[in-house]
Chain A
Amino acid sequence: MAGIGFEIRKLLKKESYFGLIQAYTYAGIIGAGPWILSILGVQAIGFLSLAIVVPTFLITQFQVSVTHMIAASLILTGILQLAFTRYISDRLFEKRDDTVLPNFIGALFAVMVAAGAIGLAAAVFLFDGLGVVYRLLMLSGFIILSMIWIATIFLSGMKQYKQILWLFLVGYSISVLAAVVLRQFGLEGLLLGFVLGQFVLLTGMMVFTLRTYPSNRFIEFDFIKPGRMYLSLMGVGFLYNFGVWIDKYMFWYTAGAGQQIIGPLNASLIYDLPIFLAYLSIIPGMAVFLVRMETDFVEYYDKFYDAVREGGSLEQIEQLRDEMVHTIRQGIFEIVKIQTIAVLVTFVAAPALLRLLGASQLYQSLLYIDVVSASTQVVLLGLLNVFFYLDKRRIVLLLTGIFVLLNIGLTALSLHWGPAYYGYGFALAVLITVLTGMAFLDRKLQTLEYETFMLQRG
């Protein structure tokens, strides 16, 4: 999300409460927008089709199918998520803008082939016995979603946040509308509607990209060459997405906690809804994270390295280091503060919210802990972002690795101990990872000048 700071800073320059509110709103919507839209869209399709011709069971089948598509496509494209972003920004830094578009097309193509191969294998073997139309829709949906994530990465890299948001809004509106129109065709109708909307979204992204970034070459695969993308970043992108989803998969496929919904796809009635709702609560945290980390922190970060490079005195360098530490600390505290408010609001509003959604009140306690987890995850994002700025890729790799292992281990424990502990595995995994990250960051910042000066090739 680097680069969004510039946009936010423009809004902050107004120096009024209104400007401040605008900045935070903008940051919140940009930061959490696409993610929130996809959750809301899927929920809305179910909600709008409810009690009409479609039996509840079909709606569940539809929502679970889409959830699985989203999860699998995010984990698959996670490999490229950070590595490809860095590849693009490196090329832009080298002023080789002309290589950006052909490689984006190349990345899309690569993802299409990979998702196609995986999806096809799944459709043929895993989904054996299900309807051909359903299988085709799942395959195409999986491919389209994977390509959308890549396009989103690319456009974020090109700082086109507003366009991403608008395109998502349009795409999901079409998904919802088409699904509602086609609902009389049951599960296949709902899915077709969803896939159509996503197809429009992808097409919109492609058209926008091709019109905005002309290039004389159509496709290149430079990014695949060894050494062009950081392996550590590929690892981080994969591990982070895998870590975020692994506890869900464990719940889905653990007897007692999850049940089969359609073909090979399971869901956990008790676990799924609260966690998706909980993610709606991170909008304010994301807003603060973007405003604080991408404006204040980056400002001092730049000043610090300028002082190092431009011949500042040691006192200035140390003072700027201290101010940088201060902004990091403040940023993290503010995320914690705002998310605490979000948690409190959720606690108060949970019963009403569940009633509104027609969901059982049994979800309450799980929703509480999930909101805490989701909030902690924003802090984790903030920490990882600082490490990326300091170019400590190996630490991020270590942290995401720790996160995956913790999430697997603690989720297994919570499953073993029973429903009272559900949700605590994920929550603790995120929390321990955050605390570990803070300890690392503390040590890194203490030795920042030493490392900056002494541990580099002169």
Chain B
Amino acid sequence: MFDQADAVLLARIQFAFTVSFHFIFPAFSIGLASYLAVLEALWLKTGRTVYLTLFKYWLKIFALAFGMGVVSGIVMSYQFGTNWSVFSDKAGPVIGPLMAYEVMTAFFLEAGFLGVMLFGMNRVGRGLHFAATLMVAIGTFISAFWILSANSWMQTPAGFSINEVGQFVPESWLEIIFNPSFPYRLAHTVLAAYLTTALVVGAVGAWHLLRDRRNEAARVMFSMATGLVMVAAPIQIFAGDMHGLNTLEHQPAKVMAMEGHFESHPDGAPLILFGIPDQEAGEVRHQIAIPKASSLILKHDPDAPLDGLETVPREDWPYVPIVFWSFRIMVGLGFLMLALGSFALVQRLRGRLHTSRALHRFALAMGPSGFVAVIAGWVTTEVGRQPFTVYGLLRTAQSASPLEAPAVATSLLIFILVYFIVFGSGTLYILKLMHKAPQTATPDQTRDDETEEHQPVRAAGITPAPAVHAGRAIGSRHGPGTHASPTREER
């Protein structure tokens, strides 16, 4: 019923599935950790309560996202051995130390200071607490540094030799770590993480502005987030272009797949906007193309020749349709982000940043777009690397564990089931937290929602007298509808 090829395919699906799920969380927490550090710094500098309010609001969301990132990350660190043991044996001497450095310089730092960041506000001084927040933020960065170095090495291997048993032996760690595609990939990915977070924060701000445009915390977060999108989106498009040129130099087949160039174009290649790639026939059907534009983008010369996949042996082709489409999704979303940033800039200049409902709706719709773009970009680069795990040197089919297909199929099914239950619930909890409007917080009030169950729920529509309201524990959690402000009741 199954053969070895099925086992490899199933292992690939399993890896793709688990890593896609995992990647969502670090992509979010890299940006969010920095955002939290900025908020706490602003609070310490200005003393404005609104920054503390926002810090506490996003801290809870961060804790959930970080927890899910950790547990799905542990799976990744063992999956190299369970499903890709031949790869581990051969590439372990190069990849292993990079990941060990990630654990020693990043994971421990994040985990060690996360507890102080989450639970320590009343136990350590403000300065030390801020230091803990900074450590967590720096840890997420260092983690990105190492894991992208490892991934980039698999894409553009350098600084190694191969020994008699077929293992990659490190020759120069500098060349390994700073391999040719690493700087581009690191910049592109970290910018993507920042954009992803900014889009989420912007969407949450927009959601609360649509409900109550006077909510100060919502105004501040919306302003900060759209400001970042405005700056980061164009930089990201530029970084993506640089990354593309680097890929053309080192992994031309990947770019051919992204562009849909099956055929060579000796005097200027067209930019295919849309079309249906046919891998068997080696052509893109129903294409809409701009003549010579691809050469213009990739070579900065409309008449420059570009090779197509026909120059590459067929067994070395990546699967074009996936790469072709995921690339277009990523780029399309990138330009929508640019549009959002520009729209926000215009409204800011007109003084309508907090009142333009069209802008708020647009920002809300764009909330998840960062995740989609990140996954699409990851698919582009990883599927584009196929059929190799170490580009040009170690084939995917020769990297897998000697597993029987039913074993992989069973574990894959269980992974899918567990991930949907666990991360589905987690996403719901995050959305629930986001749905609540940020409430004014104080430094001493850290434990604010356990008390909720012991408090009588106030009937919606009855406004407590201001004195009673002020006398209650500030920052106690108000469920939706129990916070009796006039704007809410109108809804």
Q: Do A and B come from one complex?
A: no
Task: List chain B positions with a Cβ less than 8 A from chain A.
Answer: none
